Amino acid sequence: MTTTRSFALALICTLPLTVTAYEWQALPETAPAPTDNPTTPDKIALGKALFFDPRFSSTGTVSCFSCHNVMEGGDDHRPTSIGVHGQVGGRNAPTVWNAAFHVAQFWDARAPSLEEQSKGPPVNPIEMGMPNLDATLKRIRDIPGYRPLFAAAFQGEDTVTMDNAAKAIAAYERTLITPDTPYDRYVKGDRQALSAEQIKGMETVAAIGCTSCHAGPAFNGATLATGPGLLMKFPVNAKSEYVAKYALTKDRGRYEVTKQDADAQLWRVPTLRNLVYTAPYFHNGAVKTLDEAVRVMASTQLDKKLTEPDVKAVVAFLEALSGNFPEQTMPRLPATPGTLLE
């Protein structure tokens, strides 16, 4: 994406949409998969094992699951995550639930797919701390029990590759979706699925302009852009009292990837689904409660001060975006050779 387009997409986020103009959409029952990585049961099983396995970190102690707890909200509830050797990262761990519906991954949209995203944490010096992907792949190859899992999931003579590992993890993550929320049932025709207050909150969300950014079935803007996805300038209202209170401009967002001034404070639009499970909020995890997050967004993005009844109604609607999570069971991992972590 060019920086000009990045800035243009950011401006979209300040344009209000009326209730009547907005088309509410239910989340699909399945997540889309790329043509070169169709989702299969064997691939899901392998990806799940890799997702839960801490042996692909330098210390053998940190896995994808460490920061993305799929037994709950798909994150770790810390302001910023803790990696190998107790190191603290710079950003809040985004939920992995419904990440399959993002058109780009990470807060700064630096990965174009789940496949590419899964290659990042192992070699991040703070997160999993492996020196490179070759070292990560060697760890996988040195565990004999993984070989039949790769052979079942992929075709070819040498199936144990980093690309295949990434594809398997992505396939598993595409099962982590929550389509059956009260909101989804409501827009499909069940008019009893939402309370009167939740409906009021739904109307308020559209009326004040939240859906300008949080569009689409996942409320993440994915229907409005391709490439790196819809990038939101945050904060828009630099005069908001919350900017200094929560240090919202200390991290410059996508600028940290591109080093282009036009990309400063641009962020991938996060989903609004399952927010009751993912506190604390925002890229730095500085806001602890959902009602405060609503006040912050109204002020920083829309230059509005909501009444407390409106805040309560919006929170009630956001609570209706929490779905029935597919049951998760811990995988049985292949045995560890005694020389693996030497």
| 230 inside domain | yes
Give 21 or 314, the one with higher predicted confidence: 314
Determine, yes or no, domain membership for 240. Answer: yes
Give 221's pLDDT tier (boundaries 50, 70, 90): confident
Q: Based on the domain organization, do 205 and 300 belong to the same domain?
A: yes
Question: Which of 173, 189, 209 represents a domain boundary (last residue)?
Answer: 173
How much is the average pLDDT of 167-194? 97
Residue 85 lies in a domain: yes
Q: Which of 127, 173, 292, 319 is catalytic?
A: 127
Q: Is the pLDDT of residue 19 over 70?
A: no
- The answer to whether residue 34 is domain-embedded is no
Same domain, 109 and 125: yes
The interaxial angle of helices 162-173 and 133-141, nearest 10 deg, is: 80
Number of domains in the chain: 2
Same domain, 103 and 214: no
Query: Per the domain annotation, does 341 fall within a domain?
Result: no
My answer on whether 206 and 279 are in the same domain is yes
**% the chain with pLDDT above 70:** 92
Average pLDDT over residues 280-290: 98
CATH number of the domain within which 297 lies = 1.10.760.10
Q: Of 155, 173, 191, which residue constitutes the final position of a domain? A: 173
pLDDT tens sequence across 105-159: 999 999 999 999 999 999 999 999 999 999 999 999 999 999 999 999 999 999 9
Whole-number pLDDT of residue 323: 83
Same domain, 185 and 141: no
Asked whether the whole model's pTM tops 0.85, one would answer yes
Q: In this model, does residue 227 exceed pLDDT 60?
A: no
Q: What is the pLDDT of residues 45-89, one digit of tens each?
A: 999 999 999 999 999 999 999 999 999 999 999 999 999 999 999
Segment holding 231, helix H or strand E: strand 231-233
Predicted confidence at residue 14, as pLDDT, reads 36
Regarding whether 211 and 150 lie in a shared domain, the answer is no
Q: Last residue of some domain: 173, 204, 220?
A: 173
> Is there a domain that residue 325 lies in?
no
Q: How far apart are CA 197 and CA 309, in angstroms?
A: 9
User: Do both 224 and 115 map to the same domain?
Assistant: no
With 90 as the cut, is the pLDDT of residue 170 above it?
yes
Could you tell me if residue 327 is inside a domain? no
Q: Are 53 and 333 in contact (CB under 8 A)?
A: yes
Closest CA to 291 of 264, 306, 312, 277: 312
Residue 115: active-site member? no
Q: What percent of the chain has pLDDT over 90?
A: 88
Domain presence at residue 45? yes
Residues 160, 234 within the same domain: no
189 and 139 together in one domain? no
What pLDDT score was predicted for residue 10? 40
Average pLDDT value over all residues in the chain: 92
31, 33, 101, 212, 288 from 28: Cα distances, Å: 7, 13, 9, 21, 30
Same domain, 166 and 194: no
DSSP 209: T
Residues 54 and 83 in one domain: yes
Per-residue pLDDT for 229 more than 60?
Answer: no
Instruction: Write out the residue range of the structural domain in which residue 247 sits.
Output: 3-27+179-319
- Report the length, in residues, of the chain: 342
Assess whether 201 and 315 both reside in one domain. yes
pLDDT value at 317 more than 80: yes
